[in-house]
């Protein structure tokens, strides 16, 4: 029979994985940390630390993409705001090309 502590850390791990699938990096990372805090198994803990590292790396990429969008495309945020006026932008093709070049370089530089 699985102990309560084991069940709790597995519950947090499941929730973290779901948040990760939704690209909610901050929430996922916090849930991975909660799983670590309740975990007494080094194998699970190592996997949870990998989850935090994945989320941190993905969040860094998202921040960099948002920065590219802001600087090059003049799009203030990549967050969905549920408004056509705020979510759709007219941009020049040369700006899109430059943004894609920068994103490609970012992809090459990320391990």
Q: pLDDT tens, 43-53?
A: 999 999 999 99
Q: Is 2 exposed, middle or buried (0-12, 13-18, 19+ CB in 10 A)?
A: exposed
Residue-number span of the structural domain to which 22 is assigned? 4-109
Q: Judge contact between 35 and 6, C-beta under 8 A.
A: no
Number of structural domains (the chain) is 1
Q: Judge contact between 25 and 16, C-beta under 8 A.
A: no
pLDDT band at 9 (very low <50, low <70, confident <90, very high): very high
Please state, as a whole number, how many other Cβ atoms lie within 10 Å of the Cβ of residue 88.
Answer: 8
Give the predicted TM-score (pTM) of the model.
0.81
Structure tokens belonging to residue 27:
């929430």
Query: Is 60 strand, coil or helix?
Result: helix
Query: Is 25 strand, coil or helix?
Result: helix
Q: How far apart are CA 50 and CA 99, in angstroms?
A: 30
pLDDT tens readout for residues 28-44: 999 999 999 999 889 99
């Amino acid at each position: 029979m699985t102990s309560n502590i084991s069940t709790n850390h597995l519950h947090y791990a499941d929730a973290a994985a779901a948040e990760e699938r939704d690209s909610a990096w901050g929430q996922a990372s916090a849930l991975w940390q909660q799983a670590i805090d309740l975990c007494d198994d080094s194998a699970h803990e190592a996997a949870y630390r990998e989850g935090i590292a994945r989320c941190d790396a993905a969040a860094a990429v998202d921040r960099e993409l948002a920065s590219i969008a802001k600087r090059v495309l003049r799009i203030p945020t990549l967050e969905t705001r549920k408004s056509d006026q705020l979510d759709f932008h007219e941009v020049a093709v040369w700006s899109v090309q430059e943004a894609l070049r920068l994103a490609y370089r970012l992809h090459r530089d990320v391990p």
